[in-house]
Structure 1
Amino acid sequence: MGSIISGVIFLTVGLIIRVYPNILAGYNSLSQKERENAEMNRLPFYGFLLFTVMGVISLLSYVLSIWLENPKLSSGITLIVTLTGLIFAVVGGNLLISNRFTK
């Protein structure tokens, strides 16, 4: 049940980031150049995509745990998705802000 709640929260946060990119942590404190780099490299879309994928995987983990008749599997997968998503958010966000993907 926790994986369903986590999945819905991740999907909701992803949709909110898509509509209101200013809620990203530290987005308002960026300099004008860093903000332009972030927008040019599509940081808000990256946040949306990351949280959406995390939500879908969390929801699928619940279905998988029922199918395999292993209820602890969904909480383990949700924990791994959360920790992996955190790493991707920090590393990917810094790369997109620092203009490493522009040509």
Structure 2
Amino acid sequence: MILTAAIFILCAILVYNFKFYDLIAGFNTMSDDEKATYNIEKIARLFAIVMYSMAAIILIGYALSKWLDNEQIGAYGILIATLLGVPFLLIKANSKAYKKDSEND
């Protein structure tokens, strides 16, 4: 569980801080014209926030499983993090708010 959380944190750091945007699913297969229509900096920030949140949920689940001596709680932490984080990230990142055409900045 700790390894899973560490991987999420590492992915967040690589994408947001080191600009490894190709780690974002689908972005690496887009043409340059398609990539130009997205505000990748905003998507990378969203990606990092979601990955940090998922890691936090997993670590909280792990801590609770150790504290309450019930390994199932840790598994629920991973399940909850995945079921909440992945759909949220996919839906939010594909919204118009992250396209350059609809920016209000």
Moved over 4 A (4+): 98-101
Q: Cα distance 1:31–1:62, how it changes in 2: closer, same or farther (>3 A)? A: same
Residue 83 of structure 1, CA deviation = 2.0
Structure 2: gaps (5+ residues): none
Distance in 1 between the 2:88 and 2:56 partners?
16
Asked if 2 retains the 8 angstrom alpha-carbon contact of 1:35 and 1:97, the reply is: no
**Matched residue count:** 100
Superposed displacement of residue 62, structure 1: 0.7
Q: Name which structure has the greater RCO, CA cutoff 8 Å, separation 6+.
A: 1
> Could you list the runs of 5+ residues in structure 1 that have no partner in the other structure?
none
Query: Which residue is 1:38 aligned to?
Result: 39
Two-structure CA RMSD over aligned residues (Å): 2.3
**TM-score, normalisation: structure 2:** 0.77
Q: How far off is 1:23 after superposition?
A: 2.2
C-alpha change, 1:98 and 1:36, in structure 2 (3 Å) is closer
Give percent identity, aligned residues only: 22
- Could you tell me the TM-score, scaled by structure 1's length? 0.79
